[in-house]
Amino acid sequence: MPILLTCADPLEPKKADPAFRAEVEAARAAGFAIALLDHDELDRRVDPAAALRRARLGEGGPAVYRGWMLRSEAYARLFEALAERGVTLLTAPAAYEACHHAPGSYPALAPWMPRTAWLPLERIDDAASLRATLAPFGSSPVILKDWVKSQASGYWDEACFIPDASDAARADAVIARFRALQGESLEGGLVFKAYVPLRPLGGPAHEDRAFIVRGQVVGCWSRSEGPPPSPPSDLLAAIAAAVPSPFASADLAQDSDGRWWLLEVGDGGVSGLPDPQAATPLFAALLAALAAAATA
């Protein structure tokens, strides 16, 4: 039987984390067995044996992870520990990292994304490397994040948005504030993306999130209030075919001229569902994908 591996409730370890209980029910209805792991033991202490000590894995088999975000190292260790127990996760560590880290998927998806450049962690204190990374943007605005996260939601002006990429003083100030806020959680390095004015202007952008399983779009759901237009199906299909992972999410939005942009992709296992109703078709698609992988 295919396995859904998800996060246990820290207060009631025999139950799924409340954030994933609706997904657990959808997965059971689709035909999955459920196994719970201790997220803190895995992601903070990188101890997969401790994380899995209560997991009911039975005789093993194909599996998928749906839970809280994991660092790439933790995911790789989880993949290895499960393999030793006869459990094979749908997404291999290289594919997880490709979609979890912004630079990993950009080469395959650049035609649909804003211009993106990055500076690895070991070079972020090198002023010359920083200027060279920002130079292709000219005097255009850019937004800043690390390999995984930004500070857009709470600190847009001071730690995310750089109005002029050629303004060294302003760029340095935004980067310094971003680094201070990220602290030890700063992952991978610095990522710079060309700023795109998204609809509706003057308010939070209307975004859609699609889930992709084995190169096919499972569905696309709004992440915003109201009914924004959905991305064209041919665009979604092209992106799905190019995503370097068997399980991914893709966030899209329209700019002020009506052009659709792929804003970012994420690993499908750690991307939040934009709509609870998405769980039913998602687990149906995952069940089919695991069955296909098991017979490949």
For residue range 230-262, what is the model confidence (pLDDT) as tens digits?
899 999 999 999 999 999 999 999 999 999 999
Cis check: omega of the bond before 111, within 30 degrees of 0: no
HSE-up of residue 61 (Cα within 13 Å, Cβ side): 18
Q: What is the DSSP string of 121-163?
A: GGGTT-HHHHHHHHGGGTTS-EEEE-SS-B-HHHHHHHHTEES
Which positions ≥6 away from 27 have C-beta within 8 Å?
4, 34, 66, 279, 283
pLDDT tens for each residue of 105-153: 999 999 999 999 999 999 999 999 999 999 999 999 999 999 999 999 9
DSSP class per residue in 12-47: STTSB-GGGHHHHHHHHHHT-EEEEE-HHHHHTT--
Average pLDDT over residues 12-37: 97
Q: What are phi and psi of 41, to 5 degrees?
A: -60, -35
- Please tell me the pTM assigned to this model: 0.95
Answer whether residue 174 shows pLDDT above 70.
yes
Per-residue tokens: 143: 């937004």
Domains of the chain: 3-89 (no CATH), 115-194 (3.30.1490), 202-295 (3.30.470.20)
